[in-house]
A and B are shown apart, each in its own frame.
Chain A
């Protein structure tokens, strides 16, 4: 096989994959919910701002979590992601299934702010960043005892 025919075969295969939609370049932008106004967050005062004021200034949260000692946390989040992906879809042998390979896909990660309140509903802490990471820090994990108890319940 000459170099020319090899090149032609490769180009033909590439063209077939592209024209059949097996190879796609995809730009995707995903906008979810609205970011909090920066001024509203900056106006909060730890130890002074109460629950009512926080709700009035920031609006309804996306999540609400129970904290130890009758405290609670309110979380506001939003997503702004965009990026290019290359998607390759190839038919697999045997069962008519396809194999999808995604390269460079933008992970969907919600950013936001979490406000922590004590039992008197006074602001004790403001955390900003990825909600997933903050939630790991502030939300208590169920103890093993609770887990077993829950498992025994019908």
Chain B
């Protein structure tokens, strides 16, 4: 009887499960980011390594390029009246800063897009 109840519950709930994955821009390989050397790399070389930036910000005589790649994982349970959804977005993000001569002065990177997880709203997803 208990097995039958479990089966009935699974049959009722399973069609209402939802999993989806969305990405924005291409991933930023860590080995490419490691090629950037402050004081030596030029803006042209940075673009050759990382590609076209998502955003270019003019900072007086300096410039900054932003690169990002985001991954979103959505999970949900769609019942007749009650729907439960969770959306987890994490990103790879790299900023490179250039002086007035277009020489790299600073680089900052964090690569976390792969850590996005599918979870239900009551589950913790930020242990990583």
Residues of A within 8 A of B (CB): 18-19, 21, 23-34, 51-52, 55-56, 59-62, 64-66, 70, 72, 82, 119
- The answer to whether B81 and A23 touch across the interface, beta carbons within 8 angstroms, is yes
CB closest chain-B residue, reference A19: B80
Pairs across A and B, CB under 8 Å, 8 listed: A19-B80, A28-B86, A30-B87, A31-B86, A31-B87, A31-B88, A55-B106, A64-B57
Task: Let me know if B83 is at the binding interface, CB within 8 A.
Answer: yes
- The answer to whether B85 and A29 touch across the interface, beta carbons within 8 angstroms, is yes
- The answer to whether A27 and B121 touch across the interface, beta carbons within 8 angstroms, is yes
Measured between beta carbons, the chain B residues less than 8 angstroms from A62 are 93
Cα(A52)–Cα(B38), bound, Å: 11
The tally of residues in B whose CB lies under 8 Å from a CB in A reads 31
Measured between beta carbons, the chain B residues less than 8 angstroms from A29 are 85-87, 121
Measured between beta carbons, the chain A residues less than 8 angstroms from B88 are 31
Cα(A59)–Cα(B68), bound, Å: 13
Complex partner residue of A59 from B60, B66, B106, B110, CB under 8 angstroms: B110
Cα(A72)–Cα(B99), bound, Å: 13
CB closest chain-A residue, reference B57: A64
- The answer to whether B85 and A60 touch across the interface, beta carbons within 8 angstroms, is no
Measured between beta carbons, the chain A residues less than 8 angstroms from B66 are 64
Known: A64-B64, A70-B60. A31 touches B95 (CB 8 A): no
- The answer to whether A21 and B89 touch across the interface, beta carbons within 8 angstroms, is no
Residues of B68-92 contacting chain A, CB below 8 A: 80-91
- The answer to whether A60 and B60 touch across the interface, beta carbons within 8 angstroms, is no
Q: How far is the CB of B41 from chain A (nearest CB, A)?
A: 16
Query: A26-B84, A72-B62 given. 18 additional CB < 8 A pairs?
Result: A19-B80, A24-B83, A25-B83, A27-B82, A27-B85, A27-B121, A28-B84, A28-B121, A30-B89, A31-B89, A34-B112, A55-B108, A56-B108, A60-B94, A60-B95, A61-B95, A64-B59, A70-B60
Known: A27-B82, A66-B60, A70-B60. A60 touches B109 (CB 8 A): yes
Cα(A65)–Cα(B80), bound, Å: 46
Measured between beta carbons, the chain A residues less than 8 angstroms from B106 are 51-52, 55
Task: Let me know if B125 is at the binding interface, CB within 8 A.
Answer: yes
Q: How far is the CB of A120 from chain B (nearest CB, A)?
A: 12
CB closest chain-B residue, reference A66: B59
Cα(A103)–Cα(B112), bound, Å: 34
Cα(A80)–Cα(B112), bound, Å: 17
Q: How far is the CB of B11 from chain A (nearest CB, A)?
A: 18
